[in-house]
Chain A
Amino acid sequence: MNDLSTSSQITYRAVPIRSGVIRRIRGLSDRTLAWIFITPTIVLLLAINIFPLVWTIYLSFTNYRANRPNAPTIWLGTDWYQSILTDPDIWAAMQVTAHFVVWTVLIETVLGFGLAFLIDKKFRGHGLWTTIILLPMMLSPAVVGNFWTFLYQPQIGLFNYVVAFFTGRDASSFQMLGDVTLSPWAIVIVDAWMWTPYVMLICLAGLRSIPDYIYEAAEVDRASNWRQFWSITLPMALPFIMLAVLFRGIENFKMFDMVNLLTGGGPGSTTEVASITLKRAAFESWRTGYSSAFAIILFVTVFGLANIYVKALNRVKSR
Chain B
Amino acid sequence: MRQTVKALLTTFGVLSSALGVGVTSAHAQAKTITLCWAAWDPANALVELSKDFTAKTGIGMKFEFVPWTNYADRFLNELNSHGSLCDLIIGDSQWIGGAAENGQYVKLNDFFKKEGISMDDYMPATVVGYSEWPKNSPNYWALPAMGDAVGWTYRKDWFARPEIQADFKAKYGRDLAVPKTLDELHDIAKFFQGREIDGKKVYGASIYTERGSEGITMGVSNYLYDYGFQYQDPKKPYSMDGFVNSPSAVKGLEAYKELYKCCTPPGASNSYMSEGLDAFKSGQVALQMNFFAFFPGLYKDPNVGGDKIGFFSNPAGPATQATQLGGQGISVVSYSKNQGEALQYIKWFSGGDVQKKWWALGGYSCAKSVLNDPSFPSSAPFAGEFLKSMGMVVDFWAEPSYAQLLQAEQKRVHDYVVADKGTAQEALDGLVKDWKAIFKEEGKKF
> Across the interface, which residues of A come within 8 angstroms of B72, CB to CB?
284
> Across the interface, which residues of B come within 8 angstroms of A265, CB to CB?
211-212
| Smallest Cβ-Cβ distance to B268: which chain A residue | A178
A175 touches B267 (CB 8 A): yes
> Across the interface, which residues of B come within 8 angstroms of A266, CB to CB?
211-212, 269-270, 414, 418-419
Interface residues of A in 262-307 (CB under 8 A from B): 263-270, 280, 283-287
- How close is B269's CB to chain A, nearest CB, in angstroms? 3
> Across the interface, which residues of A come within 8 angstroms of B416, CB to CB?
268
B419 touches A180 (CB 8 A): yes
B98 touches A269 (CB 8 A): no
A285 touches B407 (CB 8 A): yes
Cβ-defined partner of A268 (8 Å) among B77, B79, B419: B419
B269 touches A284 (CB 8 A): no
> Across the interface, which residues of B come within 8 angstroms of A260, CB to CB?
212
A264 touches B270 (CB 8 A): yes
B267 touches A154 (CB 8 A): yes
Contacts known (A155-B265, A269-B415); A284 close to B210, Cβ less than 8 A = no
- How close is A275's CB to chain B, nearest CB, in angstroms? 13
B102 in the interface (beta carbon within 8 A):
yes
- How close is A277's CB to chain B, nearest CB, in angstroms? 10
A287 touches B419 (CB 8 A): no
B98 touches A67 (CB 8 A): yes
Interface residues of B in 69-101 (CB under 8 A from A): 72-73, 76-77, 79-81, 98, 101
> Across the interface, which residues of A come within 8 angstroms of B414, CB to CB?
266-269
B298 in the interface (beta carbon within 8 A):
no
> Across the interface, which residues of B come within 8 angstroms of A173, CB to CB?
266
> Across the interface, which residues of B come within 8 angstroms of A157, CB to CB?
267
Interface of A is mostly: loop
Interface centre among B81, B212, B421 (most CB of A within 10 A): B212
Assembled-state Cα–Cα distance A312/B211 (Å): 41
A68 in the interface (beta carbon within 8 A):
yes
B403 in the interface (beta carbon within 8 A):
yes
B420 in the interface (beta carbon within 8 A):
yes
Assembled-state Cα–Cα distance A284/B214 (Å): 11
Cβ-defined partner of A286 (8 Å) among B80, B212, B268, B411: B80
Assembled-state Cα–Cα distance A67/B73 (Å): 12
Contacts known (A265-B212, A267-B414); A68 close to B102, Cβ less than 8 A = yes
Contacts known (A67-B80, A283-B77); A178 close to B212, Cβ less than 8 A = no
Interface residues of A in 152-179 (CB under 8 A from B): 152-155, 157, 172-173, 175, 177-179
B103 in the interface (beta carbon within 8 A):
yes
A70 in the interface (beta carbon within 8 A):
yes
> Across the interface, which residues of B come within 8 angstroms of A67, CB to CB?
76, 79-80, 98, 102
* B residues adjacent to A (C-beta < 8 A): 72-73, 76-77, 79-81, 98, 101-103, 210-213, 265-270, 284, 400-401, 403-404, 407, 411, 414-416, 418-421
* A residues adjacent to B (C-beta < 8 A): 66-70, 152-155, 157, 172-173, 175, 177-180, 260, 263-270, 280, 283-287
